[in-house]
Amino acid sequence: METFQRFEKKYLLSDEQFRKMMVKMKGHIMPDKFSESDIRSIYYDTKDHQLIRRSIEKPEYKEKLRIRSYKEVDDDDQVFVELKKKYDGIVYKRRTKAKCKDLINDIRHCSFKDPQVGKEINYALSYYGELQPSIFIGCQRISFTGVDDKDLRITFDKDICYRMNDLSLKRTDADKKLTDQTVMELKIRDAMPLWLSDILDEVKAYPRGFSKVGNAYIKELQGA
């Protein structure tokens, strides 16, 4: 079982801001264990997108259920299943694994690697009713950790795409671009390091809520 608890802050960066950040952070950060990944996620929701619509409203408490791989996978491969909750700015994530095709075909009857997390996922499925694969989100991610603070994690997501049909953890020609900007996410357990706060001020990067799945849903409603 994997459990995470941390503060998360997101920033939308232009190409220029991204380049400046990378130059100014040199010496403070180092590549994470999995420094480059091709992330593919499927978010589950009700038929009327109850979870996504609630997330867009920015409530004090919200949760998401998703499956995720960090590379190309086949139907019989094990992938991550994550139940992610956010309350009062703190993110709590519970994660286990299950077979890819079982999760997509019928998540209710999966054999989860960790039974306890599986029970929590099944409770969420029962609570919300008919949760089903809803939106695919893909991106290229580079990840860093602090040189002096291993609890600090900084990720940059580029080439973000989405689709709402023919859902699988594979990329297809139906994928649509979500944004030209880079999504930077800071994941910290306590206070932000002073050096990082100074750099953010220098490049004029300010925290901003940005839900990939929420913005994908809005773009689809707008016919983008």
Q: pLDDT digits over 191-216, tens only?
A: 889 999 999 999 999 998 888 999 99
Cβ atoms of 117 and 111 within 8 Å: the answer is: no
Average pLDDT value for the chain: 91
pLDDT above 80: residue 1:
no
**Half-sphere exposure of residue 201: CA atoms within 13 angstroms, side-chain side:** 7
Domains defined for the chain, CATH in brackets: 2-221 (3.20.100.30)
Q: How far apart are CA 187 and CA 151, in angstroms?
A: 8
Note whether 28 and 146 are within 8 A (CB). Answer: yes
What is the rounded distance in angstroms from the CA atom of residue 113 to the CA atom of residue 190? 31
Q: What is the pLDDT of residue 129?
A: 81
Q: Give per-residue pLDDT as tens, 27-44.
A: 999 999 889 999 999 999
Q: Sorting pLDDT into bands at 50, 70 and 90, what band is 67?
A: very high
CA pair distance 67, 80, nearest whole angstrom = 5
Please give the radius of gyration of the chain, using alpha carbons only, rounded to the nearest integer: 18
Q: What is the pLDDT of residues 6-16, one digit of tens each?
A: 788 999 999 99
> Nearest Cα to 191, choosing from 28, 9, 33, 18?
9
Question: In this predicted structure, what is the pLDDT of residue 93?
Answer: 87
159 Rama sector, left if φ>0, alpha if ψ -120 to 50, beta otherwise: left
| pLDDT band (50, 70, 90) for residue 224 | low
Structure token digits, residue 130: 């008919």
Does the pLDDT value for residue 2 go beyond 70? Answer: no
Query: What are 71-111's pLDDT values in tens digits?
Result: 989 989 999 999 988 887 788 889 999 999 999 988 988 89
Percent over 70 (pLDDT), the chain:
97
pLDDT for the residue 85: 86
Asked if residues 106 and 67 have their Cβ atoms less than 8 Å apart, the reply is no
